[in-house]
Structure 1
Amino acid sequence: MWLRWWKRPGPDAINHVDLERSITLTVGLEQTASLAETIQLAQEQVLIPLRETLPPGFRVELAGSADILSDTLFQLGSSFVLSLVITYLLLVALYRSFRYPVIIMITVPMGIAGAVLSLVIANAIPGVNVPLDMMTGLGFVILTGVVVNNAILLLDRTLQLRQEQSLTWDDALYLAVSDRLRPIFMSAGTSVLGMLPLAVFPGKGAELYQGLGIALTGGLALSTVLTPTVVPALVRLMEDWREIRKPRSSIVRTRDAKVKPVKEKVGGRK
């Protein structure tokens, strides 16, 4: 009887998590699977029914990449918000105004829209899967400091023309766009073409940085096309709104006073 118990198979090692015995079940995902969708399906179809049938003293939790996904998304969102705040405060210090940096920061949503649109188009291609992972999210953070450069060039040139030549807002915006349009497209075009191989051409390790390249190229391309039209329109609307809100000068009306004729005395005579 003792020999039978000795030959009975048992665990090679006893794992502990938080000083409690644990059993680890490792699950691998396909390359085309999304981690967020897989976690949601596991919660709904596996974990919730299993927790209802477990005896007291047992619990089931997710670990590994699934456990740190929520923390990663929170940290990424915090970094994105912090980058927006730092960029805005820096522009406020440079322009000494709270209004003009708001117009410049409008280009950030345009860049994000271009990045999201490029990811949707890339995932619609058969055989291509670009997940919204940490590297792809890093591309959105980088966009906040890249897409504002074109708007800074336009607004700075406009204010310079207004100060030096005393032009109207319409003339200053027209000349600023004509002067800065070529440098904007040249700098943005070289940046997009430089990151295009990272986003399009496959290679060793390309799947790690492909989402980053797609987000940067798409966001920068769309913001570059929209900035020369959107930023001047916003500047003109803001100035029109300022003029409307200016208090009108009060006009004081005075009654005409009757002037009595004055007779001069010449030589003591009237």
Structure 2
Amino acid sequence: MFWVLAFSLIISWLVAVTFTPYLGVKILRAPKQKPGNTGDHYKSSRVYEYLRALITWCVRHRRTVVFITFAMLVLSVAGMAGPVEKQFFPGSDRPEILIDVNLAPGTSVTTTDTTVKRLEELLDSMGGVENYASYVGGGAPRFFISVNPEHPDSSFAKIIVTATGPVERDRIIAALDQHVANGTFAEARIRIRRLLFGPPVDWPVSFRVVGQDPATLRKVAHQVREVMSHNPHVVNPHLEWDQRVPTLKLEIDEQRLRLMGLTPLSVAQQMQYRTDGVPIAEVRQDIRTVDVYVRGQGAKRAQNEPPIYELRNEQGQKIPLSHLGEVKLAYEDAMIRRHNRELFLAVRGEVKNAQPQDVTKALWADLESIHAALPDGYRIDIAGSLERSQEAEDSINQVFPLMIALMVTCVVLQMRSFPGVVIVLLTAPLGVIGSVVALLIFKQPFGFVALLGLIGLAGILMRNTLILTQQVSDNLEDGMLPSDAVVEAAVRRARPVVLTALAAALAFIPLTTDIFWGPMAYVLIGGVIVGTAITLFFVPALYALAFRLESR
């Protein structure tokens, strides 16, 4: 976006100073002088007379105008921090629906597939489904930038449903949510969602409990989940890894192993063959490659007893696994996750009827008591969409000093006076006033894209201020009194400033219906219109105050 805007502005400037004057000379004709007309429409037009009177009043009451303007700015900043909804990136308007199926850790692929088939039967009975694809035992390939492929897991499945349109997509999501709420798939935790724009965010609301001991992490994480469950906007809060899975522990007796004619490697290979299976070939299907596994017969199992596996030595003799050592049935964590090499347990949930960032901030305040009681070496970090939003904003903040330095340099070269530089820079944030009004009126969230629009808006308002101050300098060179020069500059530059502002605002109207660019369009429309109107009256008052001009 930066390079597109940069080249567009540079080329448009070259066209404005070369080709546009050429067209004006070739096409435009000199206006005919009417009888009784002095030729100065700035003096003869009633509109300009009213505008001149209003600007003159602002210059005379400069302190009041400056105070009111800054008060409006403070209220707008408070509105941006409060009532305006926060959003990282909006949802996509694509027709796909993502269905995540999570069963208990350690569940076999066969059991997971049974639940998936029930879901597929339900989808077949619904209208508006164009097609769907199911992936059992792992996630789907990345087909959209915000979709993160999941790790292989026998207890996990993903179904990608393509609806015939946005209306059908929302109807299918509502119907599936109702089935899940009614307990149709009580054996699984099912998550139904649409695609999102922006970088991948696994869960909109998430907290990381960081520490060393898994048992302590689980204890604190349960407390966090309890707090999240009391928030009306959080749906299905859960721990990323909570349930422990049964595992078979074999403490091998090396002497017995040698007597039986086996080695640790042969035991490991035969156990893999009996449990997970061994890859023996690959089958190509179109552009996909599917691994073929061969697996031996299951172990003999008695109720409430560990399974009985039989191995074979080089002589082909059957040897029960229990003869090689002590076989124990133990429980361990299904997975252990690390972030920046630190052990953590994530507590996450879905959000309904609210913005994830607002919900995360509210929960963060509710977790204050848990923070205070954490043992040494343990902490809770914010994850989810708020963390990704902060990372994106930090990447912009890193170049802010350079951006401000370049802007100030350009303004100094133009103004060549400290008060003039201050005047131009003080008008940069005035766009927040109109932006907040537009966001609140049209109920639009403020997100990353809207932030980019707000940054660009500062440049637009600073350009308008430079136009006004340059006209003041021209008027002073023509011999006008300082106070008259300020008023006439605002009057004479009002029409081009207003027309360019309206052109910019009208150009963004088609983007207001776009789900991705809509918030930025509202920020620019509201900021340009209100900011330009304020600038026409605020800049003359501030100029008169900064240079201590006498009122007439």
For the criterion TM > 0.5, the same-fold answer is yes
1:39 corresponds to 2:352 = no
Find the counterpart in structure 2 of residue 101 from structure 1: 421
Q: Which moved more, 1:144-153 or 1:130-139?
A: 130-139
Structure-to-structure mapping, 1:1-270, within 5 angstroms: 1-3=305-307, 14-19=336-341, 22-30=344-352, 32-45=353-366, 48-49=369-370, 52=373, 60-76=380-396, 83-123=403-443, 130-163=444-477, 165-199=478-512, 201=513, 206-240=514-548
Distance 2:376 2:447 in 1: 37
Report if aligned partners of 2:439, 2:523 keep a CA contact under 8 Å in 1: yes
More strand, by proportion: 2
Report if aligned partners of 1:76, 1:138 keep a CA contact under 8 Å in 2: no
Report if aligned partners of 2:357, 2:385 keep a CA contact under 8 Å in 1: no
Give 1:112's aligned amino acid. V
Q: Which moved more, 1:184-193 or 1:174-183?
A: 174-183
Find the counterpart in structure 2 of residue 268 from structure 1: none
Find the counterpart in structure 2 of residue 262 from structure 1: none
Find the counterpart in structure 2 of residue 258 from structure 1: none
Report if aligned partners of 1:51, 1:59 keep a CA contact under 8 Å in 2: no
1:150 shift after superposition: 1.5
1:50-83, Cα deviation, whole Å (9 max, x unpaired): 884x888876544332333444444555655654
Report if aligned partners of 1:115, 1:216 keep a CA contact under 8 Å in 2: yes
Inter-CA distance 47–72: structure 2 relative to 1 (3 Å threshold): farther
Report if aligned partners of 2:419, 2:547 keep a CA contact under 8 Å in 1: no
Give 2:423's aligned amino acid. I
5+ residue gaps, structure 1? 124-129, 244-270
Report if aligned partners of 1:107, 1:227 keep a CA contact under 8 Å in 2: yes
Paired residues, what number? Answer: 228
Inter-CA distance 18–102: structure 2 relative to 1 (3 Å threshold): closer
Report if aligned partners of 1:154, 1:177 keep a CA contact under 8 Å in 2: yes
1:135-194, Cα deviation, whole Å (9 max, x unpaired): 12222211121111211111111211222x222123323432332222111111100001
1:19 shift after superposition: 4.6
1:232 shift after superposition: 1.8
Find the counterpart in structure 2 of residue 127 from structure 1: none
Give 1:27's aligned amino acid. G
1:26 shift after superposition: 4.1
What SS is found at the alignment partner of 1:28? strand
Report if aligned partners of 1:162, 1:168 keep a CA contact under 8 Å in 2: yes
Give 1:42's aligned amino acid. L
Distance 1:92 1:40 in 2: 40
1:2-34, Cα deviation, whole Å (9 max, x unpaired): 31789999776554444555544442223x422
Inter-CA distance 96–29: structure 2 relative to 1 (3 Å threshold): same
Moved over 6 A (4+): 4-12, 54-58
Report if aligned partners of 1:47, 1:60 keep a CA contact under 8 Å in 2: no
Report if aligned partners of 1:80, 1:141 keep a CA contact under 8 Å in 2: no
Distance 1:174 1:51 in 2: 59
Report if aligned partners of 2:371, 2:379 keep a CA contact under 8 Å in 1: no
Inter-CA distance 47–147: structure 2 relative to 1 (3 Å threshold): same
Distance 2:462 2:481 in 1: 24
Report if aligned partners of 2:428, 2:461 keep a CA contact under 8 Å in 1: yes
What SS is found at the alignment partner of 1:207? coil
TM-score norm. by structure 2 comes to 0.36
Report if aligned partners of 1:114, 1:220 keep a CA contact under 8 Å in 2: yes
Distance 2:490 2:342 in 1: 67
Q: Which moved more, 1:108-117 or 1:67-76?
A: 67-76
Report if aligned partners of 1:84, 1:144 keep a CA contact under 8 Å in 2: no
Inter-CA distance 9–187: structure 2 relative to 1 (3 Å threshold): same
Distance 1:100 1:67 in 2: 39
Distance 2:429 2:414 in 1: 22
Inter-CA distance 160–34: structure 2 relative to 1 (3 Å threshold): same
Inter-CA distance 150–50: structure 2 relative to 1 (3 Å threshold): closer
Inter-CA distance 158–13: structure 2 relative to 1 (3 Å threshold): same
1:72-108, Cα deviation, whole Å (9 max, x unpaired): 4445556556544432221101222222122222322
Q: Percent identity?
A: 23
Distance 1:186 1:238 in 2: 28
Inter-CA distance 118–9: structure 2 relative to 1 (3 Å threshold): same
